[in-house]
């Protein structure tokens, strides 16, 4: 297929390369054009200097920070798109905004799928992402070969917005568990427990999670905090997660508390810090570090 890709960030850069490796003709566009040029040189994709150059594609992917940038890109590209083009949004976006984007694109006969991903930059690089898809079943089937180049667990969840809602719930769980684990580990450290040993046993017990199995031992305990996923982006996901529960009328004190905590963390520690640095909020309160 001829594919257009908008957004070569931490996730989009490796994902677009995997589409090319699967045999598709991939045109890449990025706000900072040097990244598109570097991508084309490294992987044999085609660098577009202007957004409109993507217009001949059968499928257009977006992987941008929020639904706002997707709305903007859709508005710019829409007059140039032919009916039947498939727009696949891998941004961790907002369900309500996605429904608006889908309706706007539908006026020109362009189909929309929300397809946010999980698995981090390592999963994007390896093509092993989980992909959570919202949209019509026929569009999902058309996009399946493209998804297969990007991920392993590919699930159609319902109409437009269902993928973004599921992703927001997933990331709110990740965010809440990371801070809860940080609180617990700080208490254990103050009690004189070796945290490597504590995690060793927790990870063979019922309290284990991605945070205890990967994030805390590999990125926090050694104080490396490598930048793979910005704290500001996780705070945005948790805001969406909290809105999803609110819109559904589900009382959700834990989701709302998590939203407050991550807003505070992003403000205090910085939007561009890695998401694992959120633990520094709890560390400051405890006057102790997780080591």
Number of CB atoms found within 10 A of residue 196's CB: 11
Q: How far apart are the first and last CA of the chain?
A: 49
Classify each residue of 23-48 as buried b or exposed e, where b means 16 or more C-beta atoms within 10 Å of its C-beta.
Answer: ebbbbbbbeeeebbebbbeebebbbb
Residue 189 or 259 with smaller CB distance to ligand NDP: 259
**Which residues, 115 to 174, sit near ligand NDP by CB under 6 A?**
117-118, 120-121
117 phi, psi to nearest 5 deg: -125, 160
Residue 69 or 136 with smaller CB distance to ligand NDP: 69
The reply on whether position 12 binds ligand NDP by CB under 6 A is yes
Residue 30 or 276 with smaller CB distance to ligand NDP: 30
Residue 63 or 113 with smaller CB distance to ligand NDP: 63
Residues 5, 27, 147, 229: which binds ligand NDP (CB under 6 A)? 229
| Structure-block tokens of residue 262 | 């991550």
Return d(Cα 172, Cα 166) in angstroms, integer: 10
Residue 183 or 271 with smaller CB distance to ligand NDP: 271
Please answer whether residues 222 and 195 qualify as being in contact, where contact means their C-beta atoms are separated by less than 8 angstroms: no
To the nearest whole angstrom, how small is the minimum distance from the Cβ of residue 5 to ligand NDP? 10
To the nearest whole angstrom, how small is the minimum distance from the Cβ of residue 30 to ligand NDP? 5
Residues 38, 51, 65, 136: which binds ligand NDP (CB under 6 A)? 65
Return d(Cα 179, Cα 219) in angstroms, integer: 14
The reply on whether position 32 binds ligand NDP by CB under 6 A is yes
To the nearest whole angstrom, how small is the minimum distance from the Cβ of residue 97 to ligand NDP? 12
Please answer whether residues 188 and 165 qualify as being in contact, where contact means their C-beta atoms are separated by less than 8 angstroms: no
Please give the helix or strand (H or E) that residue 158 lies within, else none: strand 151-158
At residue 31, the 3 state secondary structure works out as coil
To the nearest whole angstrom, how small is the minimum distance from the Cβ of residue 195 to ligand NDP? 24
**Which residues, 69 to 98, sit near ligand NDP by CB under 6 A?**
69, 91-92
114 phi, psi to nearest 5 deg: -90, 130
Query: Total number of residues binding ligand NDP (CB under 6 A)?
Result: 25
82 an active-site residue? Answer: no
Which position among 17, 20, 167, 280 bears the catalytic label? 167
Please answer whether residues 126 and 120 qualify as being in contact, where contact means their C-beta atoms are separated by less than 8 angstroms: no
Which letter does DSSP use for residue 110 in this model? -
Chain residue whose CB lies nearest ligand NDP: 9
To the nearest whole angstrom, how small is the minimum distance from the Cβ of residue 80 to ligand NDP? 17
Question: Which residues would be at the binding site for ligand NDP (CB under 6 A)?
Answer: 7-12, 30-32, 35, 63-65, 69, 91-92, 117-118, 120-121, 228-230, 233, 237
């Amino acid at each position: 297929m001829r594919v257009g890709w908008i957004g070569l960030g931490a996730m989009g850069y490796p994902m677009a390369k995997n589409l090319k490796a699967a045999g598709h003709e991939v045109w890449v566009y990025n706000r900072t054009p040097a990244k598109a040029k570097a991508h084309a040189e490294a992987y044999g994709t085609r660098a577009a200097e202007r957004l409109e150059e993507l217009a001949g594609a059968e499928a257009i992917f977006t992987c941008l920070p929020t639904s706002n940038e997707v709305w903007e890109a859709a508005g710019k590209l829409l007059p140039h798109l032919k009916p039947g083009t498939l727009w696949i949004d891998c941004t961790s976006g907002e369900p309500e905004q996605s429904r608006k984007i889908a309706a706007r694109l539908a006026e020109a006969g362009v189909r929309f799928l929300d397809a946010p991903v999980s698995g981090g930059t390592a999963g994007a690089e390896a093509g092993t992402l989980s992909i959570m898809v919202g949209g019509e079943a026929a569009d999902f089937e058309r996009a399946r070969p493209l998804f297969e180049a990007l991920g392993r667990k590919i699930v159609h969840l319902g109409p437009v917005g269902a993928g973004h809602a599921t992703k927001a719930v997933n990331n709110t769980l990740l965010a809440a568990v990371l801070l809860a684990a940080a609180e617990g580990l700080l208490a254990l450290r103050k009690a004189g427990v070796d945290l490597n040993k504590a995690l060793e046993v927790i990870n063979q017990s019922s309290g284990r999670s991605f945070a205890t199995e990967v994030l805390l031992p590999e990125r926090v305990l050694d104080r490396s905090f490598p930048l793979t996923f910005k704290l500001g982006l996780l705070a945005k996901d948790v805001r969406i997660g909290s809105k999803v529960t609110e819109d559904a009328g589900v009382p959700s004190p834990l989701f709302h508390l998590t939203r407050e905590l991550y807003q505070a963390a992003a403000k205090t520690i910085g939007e561009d810090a890695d998401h694992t640095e959120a633990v520094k909020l709890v560390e400051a309160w405890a006057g102790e570090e997780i080591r």
